[in-house]
Amino acid sequence: MSKRVAIAMVIGAVALLLPGVGGARGTFLRMVNPAFIAFPPIPPLAGPVGLSFVPGVSQGIVERPNNCRQSITLRGLDGVEPSDGIPGTGDEIICLAHMWMAFDGPSFGTLVMRGEVLGSRDDARTFITARFDQETTLCTRIGARGESAYYEARGTRCYEPDPLYGLVVGPLLSVPFTSDPTQGFVLGTYAPRPRSPLIATEGLWFGEPSDEQLD
């Protein structure tokens, strides 16, 4: 096994590295008073781990600009085939966000998101935006009519395309999105992971401490 492959397997599994962001752009999360704390624990991160997210080359970011929206950007992926540009055909990158939530009452489940694969096989990218207040009737923006919230979201996980996920096998969506019924919320249980390799998960990156910091 080459050194490059080994590094990709270890580091790519535990964090979305953000080269080029340089700390100037971050994800700001609103803290909330939890509606309920006795839900089943969110599923642990599990493999298989793919090699398409290459540390130092690939880039990824998860943004939650408000309580009813989540955006995901992945760039510089290696070995992922471009998709056909038609939503819901099974060739999209799949991202899952397991979460507890207070949408008109306490609940838990998974937000299932999909994104078309753009670019080329050796430089693939995807851009995903889920607007819960526009796509469903679950969420109301804070400051409008209510204060719907999702909380205890333990890291967004993105996977390579799985043609059968949600189409033949996989989760039955409780609340599908209006624009694409293969995206939406699974409620009352957590959606299983796709059978395809894990690309990356939401995380923080830390450099190695200096000798002075260790003293």
The H or E element that residue 212 is part of is: helix 211-214
The pLDDT, as a whole number, for residue 23 is 37
What pairs with residue 151 in β-bridges? 100
The pLDDT, as a whole number, for residue 145 is 55
- Tens digits of pLDDT across the chain (215 residues): 443 433 333 333 333 333 333 334 556 677 888 888 999 999 999 889 999 999 889 999 998 888 888 999 999 999 999 999 988 889 999 999 999 988 878 899 999 999 999 999 999 999 999 998 899 988 887 765 556 788 888 889 999 999 999 877 778 899 999 999 999 999 999 999 999 999 999 887 777 776 665 55
The pLDDT, as a whole number, for residue 169 is 73
* Three-state secondary structure call for residue 127: strand
The pLDDT, as a whole number, for residue 84 is 92
The pLDDT, as a whole number, for residue 34 is 87
Alpha helices for the chain (secondary structure H)? 3-14, 132-135, 211-214
pTM listed for this prediction: 0.82
CA-CA distance, 112 to 164, in Å (whole number)? 14
Q: Domain extents for the chain?
A: 3-16+40-205
The pLDDT, as a whole number, for residue 125 is 94
The pLDDT, as a whole number, for residue 7 is 32
Question: Residue holding tokens 């526009």?
Answer: 134
CB half-sphere exposure, 37, CA atoms < 13 A: 3
The pLDDT, as a whole number, for residue 13 is 35
The pLDDT, as a whole number, for residue 1 is 44
